[in-house]
Amino acid sequence: MAAVPAEYVRNRFFRGFIVALARAGVERIEAANDIHQRLFAHVARQLGEKLLVEWASDEYVLPLYFPRNPITGYFTDFDEALIDLRHSLVSVADPYQPSMRITASPELIEAIGKQFSNAENEALNQLAATYAAARKASAEAQYA
């Protein structure tokens, strides 16, 4: 398989990931107190573990890892992707609002999903399920 530019892989991944979140029933990406960063840490860990074992084939064009910013500890790729996807897949009424709503139409979700192989869609769905489960656990812990 020919080498694919890292930026293309990153952008493609996040489009697919946001679509998978929508398919998993996630309607909002909460950013208050950087909760989205803590939740994405679960996704990044699973991606790293699975890519080395289960998803290690040419069938997957997924990023190998997402580095944390050495100063802030944030996954800056995730924040940048959310900003880049502001007008197509997510919306923010106010830039200082602590959440983004996933606004992709069912038709757009389907069209973007078709850009991925079945194996990639399954992987993205697993990662989205990990994010959704961590989100639910975080919400339950907050109100316990």
pTM here is 0.86
Q: Return the percentage of the chain with pLDDT > 70, whole number.
A: 83
Beta-carbon-side half-sphere exposure of residue 63 (alpha carbons within 13 Å): 23
Whether the CB-CB separation of 101 and 26 falls below 8 Å is answered with no
pLDDT digits over 4-22, tens only?
677 888 899 999 999 999 9
pLDDT digits over 50-96, tens only?
766 665 556 666 776 788 899 999 999 999 998 888 888 888 766 66
Would strands 99-102 and 90-91 be described as parallel, antiparallel, or unpaired?
antiparallel
